[in-house]
Structure 1
C-alpha cells in the first residue's frame, strides 16, 4: 500500500546568501571528521594511537573527502579522564608525540586541503596543572584562578567539614573537594581531579584567550569547546532544587545554579572574538567554534548562537539525533527531530549554521546504538542535509562498539558503575581502536595489547576489506561525499518529509536537478509515491547511491536498476536510495 504524506513533518529551509555569513565558507557544507587520537593509529608500538599514526593515514583522510579533522585532547595529562584533565594547555603529551609531530601533521593535512580543529577544555584543568598547584598554595598571582570557598560548617564530634551547598558533580558525589593546604573547598563540576577555573577572574579569561591564540598560531582552524554549560556558576552559592532520587546523583537536581549562567555566554562571546580577530588580521579564513552542551531547550540552544552582530558559536552541537533517535523512532518523529533544529533551535533570519552529529567518543556507535543496517541510512540522511556534518571515525565503515569485559575497561565512568551497567555506562566501547585490516589487532598496532580491545568482527569490518569490496559502507560513504561536494548540491534548499515509515530529503533549486534521499526505517517493505507531494517530478529518476542492504538484495535476486519510478519506489526493510531528476 502506498503510504500517504504526513504533511505536519514538512520543512522547506534555505538560508538566503545575502543574510548568511556562513554561505560559501569552508565549513558551510563541510564535513568534520572526529579522531580520537588514542584509537586511530599507533606508530611506535606502545598500543596507543599517536600523531605520527594519524600522519600515516593522511591519504585515507583525503580519500574520504572530509574538510577538517577534530582531534580529541592531545595535551599533557595525568589521564584521570583521558585527556580532559589537562596539566599543560600549550604542549603535546609525549604519548602522542612532539610539537614538531603536530606541526608536521598540520602541514601534511593542509597539503590535502584538510583543516585541523582542536579540542579546547575551558571549564577546568587537571589538579596537577601548575596554575592549580600555585593556587592551592595561595600564590598571589594565582590565588583566584579557581573557585575556592571555606567550609559552611564544621561537625566537631565527627570531624567533618561540610561543603558550601548541595551541588553535585556530573560524575555524581559532591561538587566540592576540601584541600587541607588551602583550608578551603574547591569546585569541580566533573572529577575531583578536574578543578574548575574561576571565570570571574580577568587573569583567567586572558590566560584562556592566550591558549586559543597559541594554537591559532600553530595553524589550527577552530576549536570544539568542551562542556561549556559549566563555565560559570551562580555566586549566590545557594542549594540547587532537589528533584528526588539518590542525593549524590547529578540527575537528582535541577541545575539552576551551575549550568548555563548568563556570564557563560559573555565569556564564550569573548572567545569567539579572539577567533574572528585572528582570522581578520592573519589569513582571512574563518576559524570555527563548535560548542558542546547536551541541552534540549531550544531557547537555550539559540543563546549559544548569539546574534548576527555578536555571534558566539559557529554552531552548538546538535545532539538530538543521539538523544532522541532510537530503534523505535518513527519516520515522522525523525522528520520532526531534523526539522526542529532548522525551525526552532536555530535563530531566525537565515544567518545561523546548521549541523548534524551522529556519534562521538561519549556515545555508543550508530551500528550498535541502532543496527549495522542503519549505518548507510543515517549517513545518507546526515550527508544529504544542509549544514555541517560531524562524523565520528569508524562510522564510515559501520564500526560497532567493542564488547570488552569490565577488567579490560579504563573509563572512570564505566568503572564506577555497577557490574551490570558497565557496558551501558562505559565510554570505552565506542573509543576502541580503528581496524585498518584483518591482521592481528586490525593493523592499529603491532603491540600485543592495544590500550582497548578492538571490536569483535574487525576481521570483516575494516578499512582494507571495505576498500576492496564492490559493495561496502565505505563505498557508500565515499559516494555520498562525492555527491555532497558537487557544486550543484551546495546552494539547494532542503525539505524533509515522512511517508509512512519512510523518510525523504529533498535538495531543490528552481529549474535545476533535484536530489532526493529516500530511506525506509521500518522492518517491512515500503512503497513511496513522491508525486503525492511533488506532482511535477518526472516519472523516472536516476539512482545515484544505494545502501549496502539494497545492493545485497539486488545481488541475491540477480537484478539491478539505475532508475526508479517516482510514483512507485519500492524499498525493502532498512534500505535507502539517493536519486536525481534527469
Structure 2
C-alpha cells in the first residue's frame, strides 16, 4: 500500500510464547517387564534424535508434504520504475525486467511480484489506476507484458501482479461516468449528499476523507489521496467488474496476485457514524491515527470479497491444475488474529510485516517475540511467511547497519514458510538521500518539506545497482527518475558476484540454495539459545538432517553453550557463515565443538548437526 504511515512498535516486550516441545508417546497396551527399560531408552533416544517441531509444536510431516510452488520459492518484489531501464528514458520498464530474468534465476528465485504497472496518471506511482486491464506506456504495452510472462515461465519463474481493489484513479472512466450519474457506474463509488461531510472520517494521507465533486455536486469518500476515490464494494456490478480484472490477467498467464490495502475496502453503510478518538496524544488532530477506525477498517464484509476472488482463481486452477497464489497486505496490528483471519477467508496468506519493525534495539529476545507472533499463532494448514523490506519502508542496511545485512538475510531465508525479498536487499542496498527538489513522492511533497524529510518513501525506491558504470548500469539515459546511490560504484551485482564468497549477494545465493533442503522447506523449528544478543533455532525433519542457525543481533560479543540447548550434542560442521570480518574464526567446512560458540554482533552461522 502506498502510504506514509508511521511504523509503530519499535522494540516490544517478548511475547513469552515458546514453541511447545513434542515427544513421541509411549506405546499403549501390555509391555513385558523385562523390555520396559529398553523401550523407554529407545523412546528417549528417538526424542533426542528427532528434535522435530513445526510452528505451534506440531510434528513435521513424514513422508514429505506436497507443497505448492508459492510455498517452496522466495518471492522477489520488483519496483518496476527502479529495476532496469531498457530505453534510456530514466525509468525502469517491462523490457528491462526481461533483460534481468537470468539474474533473478541465479538467485534461486522462482516468483517475482511486480508493483503496479497498470495505466495510471502516477499521482501515487501506479496505485491510482485509470485502466485495470492495460499497461501504462511508462512501462511498455500488453505485448511487452506477454513477452515477460513467456520469458519468465521459460525460466521457471512465476509472475505475481498487484491488485488494487480499494480505489481507482479519479481519471478512470468509471469515475468519470459515476460523477455524471450514468448507470450503473453512478454506484461504483461511495457518494453522499452535498453539503458538509457526513462524518469525521480521515484519510490515511491526512485531512478529511470526503471531497465535494463539482460535476455531481456530492461528496465522495477517499481513504487515501483526493485523486483516489474509493470503490463501492456493495455494488454487485462493481464486484463482477473487478472479478473480470482478475480473469483478464490470469488469461494472460499471471500466476497470482498481491492485494493492496485490503483492510480499507468496506465502510459502514450508515455514513452518519463518527469514528471515536484513538486517544493517542502524539498525533496531530488531522492524522488518521487520531481516530479509532471502527467503521472504515477491517469490516467483516471483506471476508466475502476474498472468498469470491478465491473462487475466480479456482476457476483457472480447475482448467490447468496450476495453483494460483493470493496474498493480501495487512497493516501492523497488535492482534495477530485479525491478520490470520485472511487464511480462513481464502487467501494463501496475509503478509506478515512484523520483522519490518526490527532495528538495532532489537536483540535475540526481541527477534524471538516477532517470530513467535507468526509461528505461535498459526492453525493447522496455515502457512507462515516473513518480510524484512518493501517499497514503503527503510532498507535493512539503513535500519540495522551494513554489518547486519547478511545476518538479516540469513534469518529470512532459514525461517519456516515463504520469504519475500525486496529488490536490492540481496546486495545490502541502503536508503539514498533524496532532496526535496529531487523528490518524486508526490504525496509526501504535497505536505511540505519537513513532512517530506520524515516520511518520503523515495529513499528506498532508488534504482537497482547493477555495475560500476554510469548510473549503476540502471539506465543509459542522462538522468534516472531517482538518484542512484553513490555506493553503486562498488556495491553492485557485478562486483559482489566476483568478490568474496561472503559478499551479501554470494551469501544470499547460497542461502537460497540451502532453502531447497527438506528441513528448510517444510521442517520443524525448535528454539536453541536465546538471550539479549543471540537468536538461534534448529530446523529438522524426522528422516533428514538437522541444522542449527544462530545469529547475534545484539551489541556485544556473545559466548554461549549450545551443547546444553541441544541436549548434549556437541559436534557440528559449518555449512554457511555470514563471514563477519570482525571475527573471521569460522569457515565453511570447519568441524566444531558447540560447547562454546563466540559470535560478534551481526555474525551468524548455519551448522549441520547430523
Question: Structure 2 length as normaliser, TM-score?
Answer: 0.87
CA distance in 1, matches of 2:578, 2:548: 14
Deviation per CA, 1:531-569, whole angstroms, max 9, x where unpaired? Answer: 2221242x221111111425x642xx8988723321111
Q: What SS does the corresponding residue of 2:573 show, helix, strand or coil?
A: strand
Which of 300, 321, 330 is the aligned partner of 1:293? Answer: 330
Are 2:54 and 1:13 aligned? yes
| Deviation for aligned residue 1:257 | 0.7
Name the counterpart of 2:475. Answer: 445
| Deviation for aligned residue 1:194 | 0.5
Are 2:443 and 1:413 aligned? yes
CA distance in 1, matches of 2:224, 2:15: 44
Q: What SS does the corresponding residue of 2:419 show, helix, strand or coil?
A: strand
Name the counterpart of 2:554. Answer: 522
Name the counterpart of 2:245. Answer: 211
Which of 518, 529, 534 is the aligned partner of 2:566? Answer: 534
Are the aligned partners of 1:353 and 1:387 in contact in 2 as well (CA < 8 Å)? yes
Gaps in structure 1 of 5+ consecutive residues: 1-5, 152-160
Are 2:609 and 1:581 aligned? yes
Are 2:590 and 1:562 aligned? yes
Aligned positions of 1:375-390 closer than 5 A: 375-390=405-420
Name the counterpart of 1:513. Answer: 545
| Deviation for aligned residue 1:520 | 0.6
CA distance in 2, matches of 1:462, 1:561: 28
Q: What SS does the corresponding residue of 1:91 show, helix, strand or coil?
A: strand
Cα pair distance change 1:266/1:82, threshold 3 Å: same
CA distance in 2, matches of 1:502, 1:114: 35
Name the counterpart of 1:315. Answer: 349
Are 2:408 and 1:371 aligned? no
| Deviation for aligned residue 1:427 | 0.5
Name the counterpart of 2:260. Answer: 226
CA distance in 1, matches of 2:513, 2:239: 42
Which of 274, 283, 290 is the aligned partner of 2:320? Answer: 283
Name the counterpart of 1:154. Answer: none
Root-mean-square deviation (CA, aligned residues, Å) is 2.1
Q: What SS does the corresponding residue of 1:339 show, helix, strand or coil?
A: helix
Are the aligned partners of 1:495 and 1:505 in contact in 2 as well (CA < 8 Å)? yes
Name the counterpart of 2:527. Answer: 496
Name the counterpart of 1:479. Answer: 510
| Deviation for aligned residue 1:316 | 0.5
Q: What SS does the corresponding residue of 2:133 show, helix, strand or coil?
A: coil
Deviation per CA, 1:27-81, whole angstroms, max 9, x where unpaired? Answer: 1132100000000000000000000000100110100011200000000100000
Name the counterpart of 2:124. Answer: 81
Name the counterpart of 1:177. Answer: 211
Deviation per CA, 1:244-303, whole angstroms, max 9, x where unpaired? Answer: 5433211100011100111112111211121122212x2211111110110412121121
Bigger drift between 40-49 and 498-507 goes to: 498-507
| Deviation for aligned residue 1:488 | 5.2
| Deviation for aligned residue 1:10 | 3.8
| Deviation for aligned residue 1:422 | 2.7
CA distance in 2, matches of 1:176, 1:102: 36
Are the aligned partners of 2:54 and 2:523 in contact in 1 as well (CA < 8 Å)? no
Are the aligned partners of 1:529 and 1:566 in contact in 2 as well (CA < 8 Å)? yes
CA distance in 2, matches of 1:58, 1:518: 32
Are the aligned partners of 1:86 and 1:126 in contact in 2 as well (CA < 8 Å)? yes
Name the counterpart of 2:227. Answer: 193
Count of equivalent residues: 555
| Deviation for aligned residue 1:500 | 4.1
Name the counterpart of 1:53. Answer: 96
| Deviation for aligned residue 1:215 | 0.5
Name the counterpart of 2:181. Answer: 138
Cα pair distance change 1:511/1:352, threshold 3 Å: closer
| Deviation for aligned residue 1:242 | 1.8
CA distance in 1, matches of 2:148, 2:228: 29
Aligned positions of 1:234-273 closer than 5 A: 234-237=268-271, 238-244=273-279, 245-273=283-311
Cα pair distance change 1:560/1:44, threshold 3 Å: closer
Are the aligned partners of 1:9 and 1:332 in contact in 2 as well (CA < 8 Å)? no
Q: What SS does the corresponding residue of 1:374 show, helix, strand or coil?
A: helix
Q: What SS does the corresponding residue of 1:198 show, helix, strand or coil?
A: coil
Cα pair distance change 1:332/1:63, threshold 3 Å: same
Q: What SS does the corresponding residue of 1:383 show, helix, strand or coil?
A: helix
CA distance in 2, matches of 1:361, 1:314: 22
Are the aligned partners of 2:573 and 2:589 in contact in 1 as well (CA < 8 Å)? no
Aligned positions of 1:390-429 closer than 5 A: 390-429=420-459
Name the counterpart of 1:353. Answer: 383
Are 2:326 and 1:326 aligned? no
CA distance in 2, matches of 1:22, 1:367: 36
Q: What SS does the corresponding residue of 2:187 show, helix, strand or coil?
A: coil
Cα pair distance change 1:435/1:398, threshold 3 Å: same
| Deviation for aligned residue 1:328 | 0.6
| Deviation for aligned residue 1:424 | 3.1
Name the counterpart of 2:27. Answer: none
CA distance in 1, matches of 2:604, 2:406: 8
Aligned positions of 1:17-36 closer than 5 A: 23-36=66-79
Are 2:461 and 1:431 aligned? yes
CA distance in 2, matches of 1:414, 1:373: 30
Are the aligned partners of 1:499 and 1:528 in contact in 2 as well (CA < 8 Å)? no
Question: Structure 1 length as normaliser, TM-score?
Answer: 0.92
Deviation per CA, 1:310-362, whole angstroms, max 9, x where unpaired? Answer: x4211101011113x22111211211110121112x3x2x2011100111000
Gaps in structure 2 of 5+ consecutive residues: 1-13, 20-52
Q: What SS does the corresponding residue of 1:391 show, helix, strand or coil?
A: strand
CA distance in 1, matches of 2:96, 2:235: 39
CA distance in 1, matches of 2:389, 2:190: 33
Q: What SS does the corresponding residue of 1:27 show, helix, strand or coil?
A: helix
Q: What SS does the corresponding residue of 1:101 show, helix, strand or coil?
A: helix
Name the counterpart of 1:155. Answer: none
Name the counterpart of 1:168. Answer: 202
